[in-house]
Amino acid sequence: MATPDIGSAIIVIRNVLWNWIHRYFKKNPGNAFIVAFEFLLIGVATELWEGNNQVANELGVVGFFLACAGVGLQTLVSIRTRPPNQTINPTSGSNTRCSILDDREDSC
């Protein structure tokens, strides 16, 4: 009976994780930018702790643009994947499924 090889087990785990991460960011492309923004925030905090205000400001500006790009991409994906007959009820603010042909106001 062959013993399991630790190297091949690590490769399998790496491939499974890589496939999961790839599918996640393909489904939510804006999240890659948002995760990068969060890492930059850690870098900004570190630079401020060390007293490098100029570097922290520059990292903060880059982080701001990454956050804007991430939120913009997620908004586009959300608009693109929303069903065409789904609207937002202005009185309650909740998402409801309303038909364009439905003339009853209480249905939405």
Percent of the chain with pLDDT over 70: 71
DSSP letter for 82, please.
Answer: S
Residues ≥6 apart with Cβ < 8 Å to 77: 28, 29, 30
DSSP letter for 3, please.
Answer: P
- pLDDT grade, residue 26 (50/70/90)? confident
Question: Rounded to the nearest 5 degrees, what angle is found at the Cα of 93, between the Cα atoms of 88 and 97?
Answer: 35
Q: Is the pLDDT of residue 95 over 60?
A: no
Q: 88 lies in a domain?
A: yes
Q: 23 lies in a domain?
A: no
Q: 90 lies in a domain?
A: yes
Among candidate residues 34, 32, 31, the one with its CA nearest the CA of residue 64: 34
CA pair distance 95, 79, nearest whole angstrom: 13
Q: How many domains does the chain have?
A: 1
Q: What is the pLDDT of residue 10?
A: 85
Residue with the larger pLDDT of the pair 40 and 89: 40
Q: 57 lies in a domain?
A: yes
pLDDT digits (tens, 9 = 90+) for 2-13: 556 777 888 888
